[in-house]
Each structure stands twice: as structure tokens, then as C-alpha cells.
Chain A
């Protein structure tokens, strides 16, 4: 068979061509290509790792932030509740104070009214006594031997006062 004959010329050139190709590629192509490919693979691996780490961190951060937010919400609610409580307290206090103050005022007013009434009474008493003294004086000054006359005189004076007032 022709096909199984090994031709010397072809074998020779094949060997030469293949070895030259191998040499050239070994020297000038493969180091650069394989290094490049390996480096890029490393870079990609690292990139993926980094991204995974970053994602994990991000997840953690998010969780933390959620926690913080929940806490903040809780605190907020607490603060609002506190504020509300405080508000009512303050209002109550204010109301109480106002009540106390009002009562005091009223008491004062009552006192002053009493006083002025007492003063007025005193005045009245003074005036009455004065009047009485006047009357008595006048009575005494008149001939007040007669009780009817006396009585008539008293009434007369009393009427006088009444009309005066």
C-alpha cells in the first residue's frame, strides 16, 4: 500500500518544520500567553473572592443597619412615649398648680372681702355708734323725760339715717 509508505522527504521536512515551530512558540509565544492566561485567571479568582467578601460585608452591613434602624425605631417609640407621658405629667402639674394658685387667689380674695366687710362693719359700727352717740347726745340734750318723746325722737333720727343712707 502506498499510504503506509513513509516518505523520507516529508518526514525530514515535518521534523524540521515542527521543531522550528515548537522552538519559536516555546521561546516567544507560550511564556507570554500562558503567563497572561494564568495571571488573568488569578485576577478573576481574586476578583470573585473579593466580590464575595464584599457581598458578605455588604450583607453584614445591611443586617447591622437593619438592627440599628430597628433599635432606633424602638428608641424613637420610647422617646415619644416618654414625651407623651411627660407632656401629660406637665399638663397635670400645670393644672394642679393653676388650681392651687386659683384657690389661693380665691382665698386671698375671700380674705380681703372679709376684711373689707369687717372694715365696713367696723365703719358701720363706728358710724352707728357715732350716730347713736349723736342721737343719745341730742336726746339728752332735749328734754327727754318723756319716754314717748324719747322713742319718737329715736325713730325720727333713725329715719333720718335711713333716708341719709
Chain B
């Protein structure tokens, strides 16, 4: 059985390598043919050249430009596109179609709008009852649709880049396209983006697995579950008996639900992020907003249920008087410490997960960099190495997924445990005196 598995994985790796080499060869050929094609396209991208002609929509021009440069590699953009959020969910082997997801936005001085992300695919403008929406351009454009340049002559990046914006002041052409207008930031954008959708999927998985386990426990007390439930239980017991109980002791049942939820939530989101296609692939825990919310929850759990001793330690710690009065040095440090703890939690999880994703992405991009610079043969060779390395990296990421979920939970437990401090020394001394 083990041998079979090994052979299968080997075959898979080699096939993937061959496929990647072929894929890498295609852009390499394209890049060779591009120099001829480019001059044809450029004038469209720079409509300002033919002054009096009605200017094309900036986004459309940008998309066309991108299309023309399809073969060319923009490493930074590719990486950030994959790490970031998106309206709609990519499908494998197709750059134009995405799984549509609902967009929920509120415009400035207007109402709520809700539509599917397929409407704004590929830079199209969507007219929702007279209100126009579009994904913002990558660079800033002035009213004449010229790129805004900074002092060094570089295009200025749009602060709303990649986000949905409202288009105000555009007029429709006879052929149905829109002309002119400028971008206006949305008041509220709570669209179900790729990350949000992944988040929901992870929540659903965690809830389902836990409820199933709970149902099993209600049905068969005193029996150890098997299979998936058993796996879930071993995870839960690992955290509950290994981390929560030893740290919080008799307070464990009170905080265990929160800590276990956090652990499973992070763990499943991390693992889902490692799957390349649909239910996974979103870099959720590698997004600072997600980790921030988790850290804020821990912050609240720590401080809301904190004991008097904890606050006394912060506001009037046991140090020489000159450290706390008249200049409240210690108090400032301690209060600063309250906020650095969640900040550390936020950044640790976010940076670890994002880093893992980034390394895999870069390993994959190496194939395309070689293809562009050195040709298909070298790319084919590097593909095998890249894939082997990224398989190795993904395996490490599986480990990191677990470790980071564990570390987040452990540190949360410790912070909560610290805030549950009581006069333990005092209690210990009393019997000795008596």
C-alpha cells in the first residue's frame, strides 16, 4: 500500500512537472512574439495621442494593455494578486471565468446594491439601476484618462486598486459601452469576496464536524469515536488536555469553548488555504483583517474576565515606588503590554501563513521566470525542481498550519491565564502560618 502511494505521488509529480513545463513554454513563445504585437496595441492604451477622439474607458484600456502583455511576467503583481482578496473565485486553467460571488455594497449618498461578481468580471462596468460599478484601475488616471505620474515619471498606484468603485459622470455610447466618468469610493463594501466565502466554508466545516462529534457524544457516552470524529476529538483533546487544562486549571471549562473554537477555526482555515482549487486557495489566515479579529477576541476574553489582581498588577505593580509614582513608568509599560500581546498574535499568524503561501508562489513563478529568460528547455528542467520544492514547502505548510493554530491557541490561553491570576502566594502562606 505504501509503495503504491509512493509510486502514485511520483507519477503525479512528473506529470505536473511536464504540464508546468508546457505551460511555461507557452508564455515563453508569446514573449518572443510580443515585440511585434506591442506597437499595435499601445496606441489604444494611450488614447491621448489622438487628441480629439473620445477617450476609451481607462479600465478597458488597462485590461487591453494587460492582455497585450499577457506573456510578460509581472512577478510582484502575480504574487499579490494570489495573496490578496478578489471578487469571485478563480477556477483552474481559466483566467477569464470566475465562480461568481455576491457583491453587497452601499454607495455614498445612496442605497444598498447587491449583484453577482460575474457582472463586473474582466473590468466591465455594471449598471445597477443607474448606478455604475467597476473594479478600480490599478493606476490613477486624471480626467483626460491619462495616467497620473509622480515626480520620477512612474505611474501612481490607485489606492482603491482591485476594489469595487462607483463610476460617476459616465455617459453611455450608442454601442452600449460607457465613456468618461471618474471613480468614487464606496461607502460600505461588505461583499462576499473570495476570502469571506472561504471563511464561511471553514466555519461550516468546523461547525458541522463539531456538531457531529457532539451528537455522537450524546448518543454514546463513555465510548471513543472513530474515523473523522475520532480525529476531531484527538485534536480537541490535544488542546484541551495539553494546553487549556494545565494553564487554566479549574477555570478551564469556562474558557475552553473559546480557545477550542479559535484553534479549530484557524487550523481548518490554514489547511483550506493550502488546497489549490475551489473550496481552498484563499489566503484567509494570511490576511491581517482575519488575524486581527481573532486577536481582538482574545484581547476581550483576556481583559473582560480579568481578575482584580491582574488589574492591580498593571495599575499598581509590586515594584519600588519611584517606578510608579509620580511618573507612571511601569503603568505605561504594562498598559502598552496589554495591546502588544494581541498585536503580536495578529502579526505572527498573518505573517507565517502569508509567508508560506508566498514561498510556494515564488517557487512556481521561478518556472515562468526561467521560461521568459532562458527558454522552454530550462523552464522544463526547473519545473521539476520547483514542483518538488513546492511539494516540500506545502508539506511544511501543513505542519506550519498546525503549529500556528497551536501557537495562537497556546498564547491566548497563557494571556487569559495571566489575567486569571489570584493571590496564590497569599493562599499558600496561610496554612504555613497556621
Q: Which residues of A contact B (CB under 8 A)?
A: 2-15, 17-18, 20-22, 24-26, 28-37, 39-41, 43
Contact A11 B292 (CB under 8 A): yes
Contact B221 A34 (CB under 8 A): no
- Does B183 sit within 8 A of A, measured CB to CB? no
CB distance from A122 to the nearest CB of B (A): 113
Contact A18 B265 (CB under 8 A): yes
Question: How far does the alpha carbon of A12 sit from the alpha carbon of B195 in the complex, in Å?
Answer: 12
Q: List 9 A-B contacts (CB under 8 A).
A: A2-B80, A2-B161, A5-B288, A9-B193, A11-B292, A30-B260, A30-B261, A32-B214, A33-B233
Question: How far does the alpha carbon of A17 sit from the alpha carbon of B172 in the complex, in Å?
Answer: 40
- Chain A residues in 8 Å Cβ range of B162: 2
Question: How far does the alpha carbon of A5 sit from the alpha carbon of B80 in the complex, in Å?
Answer: 13
- Does B10 sit within 8 A of A, measured CB to CB? no
- Chain A residues in 8 Å Cβ range of B181: none
Question: How far does the alpha carbon of A12 sit from the alpha carbon of B290 in the complex, in Å?
Answer: 9
Contact A29 B199 (CB under 8 A): no
Contact B85 A39 (CB under 8 A): no
Contact A25 B207 (CB under 8 A): yes
- Does B321 sit within 8 A of A, measured CB to CB? no
Question: How far does the alpha carbon of A121 sit from the alpha carbon of B195 in the complex, in Å?
Answer: 151
- Does B192 sit within 8 A of A, measured CB to CB? yes
Contact B207 A24 (CB under 8 A): yes
Contact A17 B199 (CB under 8 A): yes
Interface segment, one of B34-42, B250-258, B374-382: B250-258
Contact B257 A37 (CB under 8 A): no
CB distance from B239 to the nearest CB of A (A): 11
- Chain B residues in 8 Å Cβ range of A13: 190, 192, 196, 199-200
Q: Which residues of B contact A (CB under 8 A)?
A: 80, 83-85, 161-162, 188-193, 195-196, 199-200, 203, 206-207, 210-211, 213-215, 217-218, 221-224, 233, 236-237, 240-241, 253, 256-258, 260-261, 265, 287-290, 292-294, 297, 354
Given contacts A3-B84, A4-B288, contact A37 B236 (CB under 8 A): yes
Contact A40 B190 (CB under 8 A): no
Question: How far does the alpha carbon of A11 sit from the alpha carbon of B288 in the complex, in Å?
Answer: 9
Question: How far does the alpha carbon of A28 sit from the alpha carbon of B217 in the complex, in Å?
Answer: 12
Contact B257 A25 (CB under 8 A): yes
Question: How far does the alpha carbon of A87 sit from the alpha carbon of B244 in the complex, in Å?
Answer: 80
Which secondary structure dominates chain A's binding surface?
Answer: helix
Select one of B188, B210, B288, B297 contacting A33, CB under 8 A: B210
**Which residue on chain A has the smallest CB distance to residue B191?**
A9
Question: How far does the alpha carbon of A14 sit from the alpha carbon of B282 in the complex, in Å?
Answer: 14
**Which residue on chain B has the smallest CB distance to residue A6?**
B289
**Which residue on chain A has the smallest CB distance to residue B252?**
A34
CB distance from A18 to the nearest CB of B (A): 6
Contact B190 A12 (CB under 8 A): yes
Given contacts A21-B261, A25-B206, A37-B233, contact A11 B293 (CB under 8 A): yes
Given contacts A32-B214, A33-B233, contact A14 B222 (CB under 8 A): no
CB distance from A49 to the nearest CB of B (A): 16
Contact A3 B354 (CB under 8 A): yes
CB distance from A120 to the nearest CB of B (A): 110
Contact B84 A36 (CB under 8 A): no
CB distance from A97 to the nearest CB of B (A): 78
Given contacts A26-B258, A39-B222, 19 further A-B contacts (CB under 8 A): A4-B288, A5-B288, A6-B292, A7-B289, A8-B190, A9-B188, A10-B193, A11-B292, A13-B196, A21-B265, A22-B257, A22-B261, A25-B210, A30-B261, A33-B210, A34-B253, A39-B221, A41-B241, A43-B222
Select one of A10, A26, A36 contacting B257, CB under 8 A: A26
- Chain B residues in 8 Å Cβ range of A41: 241
Select one of B188, B200, B223, B224 contacting A8, CB under 8 A: B188
Question: How far does the alpha carbon of A158 sit from the alpha carbon of B174 in the complex, in Å?
Answer: 199
Contact B196 A9 (CB under 8 A): yes
- Chain B residues in 8 Å Cβ range of A33: 210, 213-214, 217, 233, 236
Given contacts A4-B288, A6-B289, A9-B189, contact A37 B237 (CB under 8 A): yes
- Chain B residues in 8 Å Cβ range of A15: 293
**Which residue on chain A has the smallest CB distance to residue B220?**
A36
Question: How far does the alpha carbon of A43 sit from the alpha carbon of B217 in the complex, in Å?
Answer: 14
Question: How far does the alpha carbon of A26 sit from the alpha carbon of B214 in the complex, in Å?
Answer: 11
**Which residue on chain A has the smallest CB distance to residue B286?**
A3
- Chain A residues in 8 Å Cβ range of B223: 40
CB distance from A86 to the nearest CB of B (A): 63
